[in-house]
Amino acid sequence: MELHQIQYFQTVARTQHFTQAAELLSISQPALSRSINKLEKELGAPLFERRGRNVVLNHYGELFLQRVERAIEELEVGKREIQDLINPDHGTVALAFLHSLGSQFVPELLSSFRMKHANVNFQLYQAATKMILEQLRSGRIDLALTSFQEGLEGICWEPLLTEELFLIVSIHHPLAQRDQVELSAVAEEPFIAFKGGYGMRTITDQLCQLAGFAPKVTFEGEEIATVAGLVAARLGVALVPDVKVLDKTKVKLLRVSNPPCSRTIGVAWEETKYMSPVSKVFLDYVKNSCRSARK
Protein backbone atom coordinates (compact mmCIF):
# COMPACT_ATOMS: atom_id res chain seq x y z
CA MET A 1 0.00 0.00 0.00
CA GLU A 2 1.51 3.31 -1.13
CA LEU A 3 0.83 6.86 0.06
CA HIS A 4 -0.45 8.02 -3.31
CA GLN A 5 -3.08 5.24 -3.23
CA ILE A 6 -4.29 6.53 0.12
CA GLN A 7 -4.50 10.10 -1.21
CA TYR A 8 -6.33 8.90 -4.33
CA PHE A 9 -8.84 7.02 -2.20
CA GLN A 10 -9.45 10.07 0.02
CA THR A 11 -10.07 12.31 -3.01
CA VAL A 12 -12.55 9.89 -4.60
CA ALA A 13 -14.31 9.50 -1.24
CA ARG A 14 -14.71 13.28 -0.96
CA THR A 15 -15.82 13.95 -4.54
CA GLN A 16 -17.82 10.73 -5.00
CA HIS A 17 -16.88 10.99 -8.67
CA PHE A 18 -13.91 9.38 -10.47
CA THR A 19 -13.70 12.00 -13.24
CA GLN A 20 -13.71 14.94 -10.82
CA ALA A 21 -11.21 13.20 -8.56
CA ALA A 22 -8.90 12.48 -11.50
CA GLU A 23 -9.00 16.15 -12.54
CA LEU A 24 -8.15 17.28 -9.01
CA LEU A 25 -5.28 14.78 -8.84
CA SER A 26 -4.03 15.61 -12.36
CA ILE A 27 -4.05 11.96 -13.47
CA SER A 28 -6.12 10.04 -16.01
CA GLN A 29 -9.36 8.42 -14.94
CA PRO A 30 -8.20 4.91 -16.02
CA ALA A 31 -5.03 5.30 -13.92
CA LEU A 32 -7.11 6.36 -10.93
CA SER A 33 -9.50 3.44 -11.37
CA ARG A 34 -6.60 0.99 -11.58
CA SER A 35 -5.09 2.43 -8.39
CA ILE A 36 -8.38 2.11 -6.47
CA ASN A 37 -8.92 -1.43 -7.78
CA LYS A 38 -5.42 -2.39 -6.68
CA LEU A 39 -6.09 -0.92 -3.22
CA GLU A 40 -9.38 -2.81 -2.92
CA LYS A 41 -7.66 -6.10 -3.91
CA GLU A 42 -4.94 -5.50 -1.33
CA LEU A 43 -7.54 -4.84 1.38
CA GLY A 44 -9.65 -7.79 0.26
CA ALA A 45 -12.91 -5.83 0.14
CA PRO A 46 -14.62 -3.24 -2.10
CA LEU A 47 -14.63 0.33 -0.78
CA PHE A 48 -17.24 1.93 -3.06
CA GLU A 49 -20.62 1.25 -4.54
CA ARG A 50 -21.06 2.40 -8.13
CA ARG A 51 -24.21 4.44 -8.80
CA GLY A 52 -24.19 5.56 -12.41
CA ARG A 53 -21.42 8.11 -12.86
CA ASN A 54 -21.06 8.55 -9.13
CA VAL A 55 -19.68 6.36 -6.38
CA VAL A 56 -20.44 6.25 -2.67
CA LEU A 57 -18.53 4.71 0.19
CA ASN A 58 -19.82 1.41 1.48
CA HIS A 59 -19.42 0.20 5.06
CA TYR A 60 -15.82 -0.88 4.47
CA GLY A 61 -15.00 2.40 2.76
CA GLU A 62 -16.41 4.53 5.57
CA LEU A 63 -14.39 2.57 8.12
CA PHE A 64 -11.20 2.83 6.07
CA LEU A 65 -11.69 6.57 5.41
CA GLN A 66 -11.69 7.32 9.15
CA ARG A 67 -8.27 5.69 9.49
CA VAL A 68 -6.96 7.27 6.30
CA GLU A 69 -7.86 10.81 7.38
CA ARG A 70 -6.30 10.22 10.79
CA ALA A 71 -3.10 8.92 9.16
CA ILE A 72 -2.89 11.84 6.70
CA GLU A 73 -3.49 14.31 9.53
CA GLU A 74 -0.60 12.76 11.47
CA LEU A 75 1.66 13.05 8.43
CA GLU A 76 0.72 16.72 8.02
CA VAL A 77 1.48 17.34 11.69
CA GLY A 78 4.86 15.70 11.21
CA LYS A 79 5.63 17.96 8.24
CA ARG A 80 4.57 21.02 10.24
CA GLU A 81 6.72 20.02 13.19
CA ILE A 82 9.81 19.76 11.01
CA GLN A 83 9.08 23.04 9.20
CA ASP A 84 8.53 24.80 12.51
CA LEU A 85 11.83 23.52 13.85
CA ILE A 86 13.60 24.84 10.76
CA ASN A 87 11.91 28.29 10.92
CA PRO A 88 10.62 28.86 14.46
CA ASP A 89 10.03 32.60 13.83
CA HIS A 90 7.96 32.03 10.70
CA GLY A 91 4.67 30.33 10.12
CA THR A 92 0.95 30.76 10.27
CA VAL A 93 -1.39 30.96 13.26
CA ALA A 94 -4.98 29.83 12.72
CA LEU A 95 -7.06 32.02 15.03
CA ALA A 96 -10.82 32.00 15.62
CA PHE A 97 -12.68 34.69 17.54
CA LEU A 98 -16.12 36.01 18.35
CA HIS A 99 -17.73 38.43 15.90
CA SER A 100 -17.87 41.12 18.59
CA LEU A 101 -14.07 41.07 18.91
CA GLY A 102 -13.53 41.76 15.23
CA SER A 103 -14.12 45.49 15.17
CA GLN A 104 -11.40 46.54 17.61
CA PHE A 105 -9.81 44.00 19.96
CA VAL A 106 -8.46 41.49 17.42
CA PRO A 107 -7.27 44.04 14.81
CA GLU A 108 -5.36 46.01 17.46
CA LEU A 109 -3.88 42.81 18.91
CA LEU A 110 -2.68 41.54 15.54
CA SER A 111 -1.33 44.93 14.52
CA SER A 112 0.80 45.28 17.65
CA PHE A 113 2.01 41.66 17.36
CA ARG A 114 3.00 42.05 13.70
CA MET A 115 5.13 45.08 14.57
CA LYS A 116 7.45 42.67 16.41
CA HIS A 117 6.85 39.54 14.32
CA ALA A 118 6.47 40.71 10.73
CA ASN A 119 6.99 37.26 9.21
CA VAL A 120 4.07 35.65 11.00
CA ASN A 121 0.82 35.22 9.05
CA PHE A 122 -2.69 34.56 10.32
CA GLN A 123 -5.68 32.58 9.14
CA LEU A 124 -8.71 34.22 10.74
CA TYR A 125 -12.11 32.71 11.45
CA GLN A 126 -15.15 34.41 13.00
CA ALA A 127 -17.83 32.19 14.47
CA ALA A 128 -20.14 31.46 17.38
CA THR A 129 -18.64 29.97 20.53
CA LYS A 130 -20.03 26.50 19.80
CA MET A 131 -18.49 26.47 16.31
CA ILE A 132 -15.17 27.80 17.61
CA LEU A 133 -14.93 24.94 20.10
CA GLU A 134 -15.66 22.44 17.34
CA GLN A 135 -12.89 24.00 15.24
CA LEU A 136 -10.49 23.66 18.14
CA ARG A 137 -11.31 20.00 18.68
CA SER A 138 -11.01 19.20 14.97
CA GLY A 139 -7.57 20.84 14.78
CA ARG A 140 -8.67 23.38 12.17
CA ILE A 141 -7.51 26.26 14.36
CA ASP A 142 -4.63 26.71 16.79
CA LEU A 143 -6.08 29.28 19.19
CA ALA A 144 -9.44 30.85 19.96
CA LEU A 145 -10.62 34.04 21.62
CA THR A 146 -14.00 33.27 23.12
CA SER A 147 -16.19 33.65 26.18
CA PHE A 148 -16.12 31.01 28.89
CA GLN A 149 -18.14 27.85 28.37
CA GLU A 150 -18.60 25.05 30.86
CA GLY A 151 -17.71 21.48 29.99
CA LEU A 152 -14.50 22.27 28.14
CA GLU A 153 -13.01 18.80 28.52
CA GLY A 154 -9.69 18.60 26.70
CA ILE A 155 -9.61 22.35 26.06
CA CYS A 156 -7.48 24.79 28.03
CA TRP A 157 -9.04 28.21 28.60
CA GLU A 158 -7.36 31.18 30.29
CA PRO A 159 -9.22 34.45 31.07
CA LEU A 160 -7.91 37.63 29.47
CA LEU A 161 -10.39 40.42 30.13
CA THR A 162 -13.84 41.12 31.53
CA GLU A 163 -16.32 43.27 29.59
CA GLU A 164 -19.31 44.97 31.16
CA LEU A 165 -22.60 44.22 29.45
CA PHE A 166 -25.18 46.95 29.00
CA LEU A 167 -28.91 46.84 28.42
CA ILE A 168 -29.62 48.66 25.16
CA VAL A 169 -32.97 50.18 24.33
CA SER A 170 -34.23 52.40 21.53
CA ILE A 171 -33.73 56.12 22.17
CA HIS A 172 -37.54 56.33 22.02
CA HIS A 173 -38.02 53.74 24.77
CA PRO A 174 -39.31 55.06 28.15
CA LEU A 175 -36.18 53.70 29.87
CA ALA A 176 -33.95 55.75 27.58
CA GLN A 177 -34.38 58.66 30.03
CA ARG A 178 -32.44 56.69 32.64
CA ASP A 179 -28.77 55.73 32.94
CA GLN A 180 -29.13 52.67 35.15
CA VAL A 181 -31.73 49.96 35.72
CA GLU A 182 -32.19 46.58 37.31
CA LEU A 183 -32.50 43.81 34.74
CA SER A 184 -35.87 42.80 36.18
CA ALA A 185 -37.25 46.12 34.86
CA VAL A 186 -37.42 44.56 31.38
CA ALA A 187 -38.85 41.18 32.43
CA GLU A 188 -41.97 41.79 30.32
CA GLU A 189 -40.15 43.35 27.36
CA PRO A 190 -39.47 41.50 24.09
CA PHE A 191 -35.79 40.54 23.84
CA ILE A 192 -33.50 40.63 20.85
CA ALA A 193 -31.08 37.77 21.52
CA PHE A 194 -28.20 36.03 19.82
CA LYS A 195 -28.83 32.67 18.21
CA GLY A 196 -28.31 29.44 20.12
CA GLY A 197 -24.67 28.37 20.21
CA TYR A 198 -23.44 31.93 20.70
CA GLY A 199 -21.78 32.70 24.03
CA MET A 200 -23.80 35.89 24.40
CA ARG A 201 -27.04 33.91 24.16
CA THR A 202 -25.96 31.65 27.00
CA ILE A 203 -24.89 34.64 29.10
CA THR A 204 -28.14 36.52 28.41
CA ASP A 205 -30.26 33.54 29.45
CA GLN A 206 -28.20 33.06 32.62
CA LEU A 207 -28.37 36.73 33.64
CA CYS A 208 -32.12 36.90 33.07
CA GLN A 209 -32.53 33.77 35.15
CA LEU A 210 -30.58 35.45 37.97
CA ALA A 211 -32.97 38.40 37.67
CA GLY A 212 -35.93 36.06 38.10
CA PHE A 213 -37.33 35.71 34.60
CA ALA A 214 -36.86 34.00 31.24
CA PRO A 215 -36.34 36.42 28.34
CA LYS A 216 -39.19 36.65 25.84
CA VAL A 217 -37.06 36.29 22.70
CA THR A 218 -38.81 37.66 19.63
CA PHE A 219 -35.86 38.01 17.24
CA GLU A 220 -32.42 36.39 17.04
CA GLY A 221 -29.26 37.73 15.43
CA GLU A 222 -25.68 36.67 14.83
CA GLU A 223 -23.85 39.99 15.17
CA ILE A 224 -24.05 42.89 17.60
CA ALA A 225 -24.73 45.38 14.79
CA THR A 226 -27.79 43.38 13.73
CA VAL A 227 -29.06 43.02 17.29
CA ALA A 228 -28.58 46.75 17.90
CA GLY A 229 -30.37 47.58 14.65
CA LEU A 230 -33.42 45.60 15.73
CA VAL A 231 -33.36 47.35 19.11
CA ALA A 232 -33.13 50.74 17.37
CA ALA A 233 -36.23 49.77 15.36
CA ARG A 234 -38.12 49.41 18.67
CA LEU A 235 -38.50 45.65 18.33
CA GLY A 236 -37.08 44.81 21.74
CA VAL A 237 -34.20 45.23 24.17
CA ALA A 238 -30.87 43.42 24.39
CA LEU A 239 -27.73 42.82 26.44
CA VAL A 240 -24.47 43.63 24.64
CA PRO A 241 -20.93 44.87 25.37
CA ASP A 242 -20.04 48.46 24.52
CA VAL A 243 -18.36 48.12 21.11
CA LYS A 244 -17.68 50.52 18.24
CA VAL A 245 -20.41 49.14 15.98
CA LEU A 246 -23.15 50.45 18.30
CA ASP A 247 -24.86 53.51 16.87
CA LYS A 248 -25.45 55.54 20.01
CA THR A 249 -27.60 58.03 18.16
CA LYS A 250 -30.23 55.29 17.88
CA VAL A 251 -29.81 53.20 21.02
CA LYS A 252 -29.24 54.06 24.68
CA LEU A 253 -26.84 52.06 26.83
CA LEU A 254 -28.06 51.47 30.37
CA ARG A 255 -25.80 50.16 33.12
CA VAL A 256 -27.42 47.20 34.90
CA SER A 257 -27.22 47.54 38.69
CA ASN A 258 -28.58 44.09 39.51
CA PRO A 259 -27.44 41.47 38.76
CA PRO A 260 -23.94 42.61 37.74
CA CYS A 261 -23.74 42.01 34.00
CA SER A 262 -20.45 41.11 32.34
CA ARG A 263 -18.72 38.47 30.28
CA THR A 264 -15.17 37.16 30.44
CA ILE A 265 -13.17 36.74 27.26
CA GLY A 266 -10.33 34.23 27.27
CA VAL A 267 -7.92 32.40 25.02
CA ALA A 268 -8.44 28.69 24.39
CA TRP A 269 -6.42 25.89 22.87
CA GLU A 270 -6.74 22.13 22.53
CA GLU A 271 -4.79 20.43 25.30
CA THR A 272 -3.49 17.39 23.42
CA LYS A 273 -2.99 18.82 19.91
CA TYR A 274 0.41 19.88 18.63
CA MET A 275 1.02 23.64 18.92
CA SER A 276 3.64 25.21 16.68
CA PRO A 277 6.36 27.45 18.17
CA VAL A 278 4.90 30.50 16.42
CA SER A 279 1.46 29.76 17.95
CA LYS A 280 3.09 29.50 21.37
CA VAL A 281 4.80 32.86 20.81
CA PHE A 282 1.46 34.44 19.91
CA LEU A 283 -0.29 32.79 22.87
CA ASP A 284 2.29 34.22 25.27
CA TYR A 285 1.97 37.63 23.62
CA VAL A 286 -1.82 37.62 24.03
CA LYS A 287 -1.57 36.68 27.69
CA ASN A 288 1.10 39.29 28.46
CA SER A 289 -0.67 42.07 26.53
CA CYS A 290 -3.95 41.57 28.35
CA ARG A 291 -2.16 41.19 31.70
CA SER A 292 -0.40 44.53 31.12
CA ALA A 293 -3.66 46.21 30.09
CA ARG A 294 -5.31 45.18 33.37
CA LYS A 295 -2.60 46.84 35.48
Residue 176 CA, distance from chain mean position: 35
Do residues 73 and 169 share a domain?
no
* pLDDT at res. 286: 94
Same domain, 105 and 235: yes
Same domain, yes or no: 239 and 288: yes
- Considering the domain architecture, whether residues 108 and 239 belong to the same structural domain is answered as yes
Q: How many whole angstroms separate alpha carbon 228 and alpha carbon 6?
A: 50
Q: Are residues 108 and 225 in the same domain?
A: yes
- Determine what percent of the chain is predicted with pLDDT higher than 90: 46
Residue at a domain's end among 26, 61, 85: 85
Domain edge (last residue) among 22, 57, 85: 85
Residues 273 and 144 in one domain: yes
- Based on the domain organization, do 142 and 76 belong to the same domain? no
Give the pLDDT confidence score for residue 295 in this predicted structure: 62
Kindly report the CATH number assigned to the domain that includes residue 127. Answer: 3.40.190.290
249 has a pLDDT exceeding 90: yes
Residue 119: which of 94, 92, 144, 141 has the closest Cα?
92
Q: How many domains is the chain partitioned into structurally?
A: 2
pLDDT (tens digit per residue) in 187-204? 999 999 998 888 899 899
CATH number at residue 34: 1.10.10.10
pLDDT confidence of residue 291: 84
The verdict on 279 and 220 lying in the same domain is yes
114 shares its domain with 250 = yes
**Does residue 46 contact residue 60 with C-beta atoms inside 8 Å?**
yes
Q: Mean of the pLDDT values across residues 258-274?
A: 91
Same-domain status, 280 and 173: yes
Residues 6+ apart with CB under 8 A from 240: 100, 165, 166, 168, 200, 224, 227, 228, 246
Best-predicted range by mean pLDDT (78-87, 144-153, 200-209): 200-209
Expressed as residue numbers, the domain containing 289 is 89-295
Summarised one tens digit per residue, pLDDT across range 98-124 is 888 888 899 999 999 999 898 888 999
Domain boundary among 85, 114, 142: 85
Task: Assess whether 150 and 245 both reside in one domain.
Answer: yes
pLDDT, position 232: 95
Same domain, 127 and 156: yes
Question: Above 90 in pLDDT, residue 86?
Answer: no
Query: What is the spatial distance between Cα 214 and Cα 262, in angstroms, rounded to a whole number?
Result: 18
What mean pLDDT is predicted for residues 143-155?
A: 80
Mean pLDDT of the chain: 89
Cα angle value 139/142/143 (rounded, 5°) = 125
Does pTM top 0.75 for this prediction?
A: no
